[in-house]
Amino acid sequence: MKRILVLCSGNSARSQIAQAYLHYFADRLKPTEPIEVYSAGINPKGVNPLAIQVLAEDGIDIANHTSNPVEDYLHIPFDFVLTVCDKAREQCPFFPAVGQRIHQSFPEPSHMKGRDIDAEAKLTAFREVRDMIKIYSQEFIATHVGANQLASTQ
């Protein structure tokens, strides 16, 4: 069984989105072994409703996801630990049985500059980050799980 952990600072948006897409693309494979995808945060903040909304726009439901501390997963032997923000990379704890640690930083969509950002601008930021993570997740699964087995998602 291949196990993937996606780690960010708050486990509210980026890691939740990445977990959903990694799972989505892994499900389209015909893997010889099962694939499990988890997400966690250095300091969990709860799943951001805008992350739920932008994934629902793409047909993925994470409404029942929870925001979990990384300490809950230290006992699991992961093949990959993906850090999706610089803070998570810097504060990532030691996992005794990790195959690979990979870092790819994505912007935090909820940290918009200025205080007068309207709801549509926030939603646009979440959509932009969602799209970046979607592309990365598809490429990650193709590269690390099985490039020849990935079914068309178009």
Catalytic residue ranges: 8, 85, 92
DSSP 15-33: HHHHHHHHHHHHHTS--SS
8 and 14 in contact (C-beta within 8 Å)? Answer: yes
Q: Which two tokens stand for residue 4?
A: 């993937």
- The answer to whether 41 and 8 have CB atoms below 8 angstroms apart is yes
Which of 30, 24, 35 lies closest to 2 in space, CA to CA? 35
SS3 106: coil
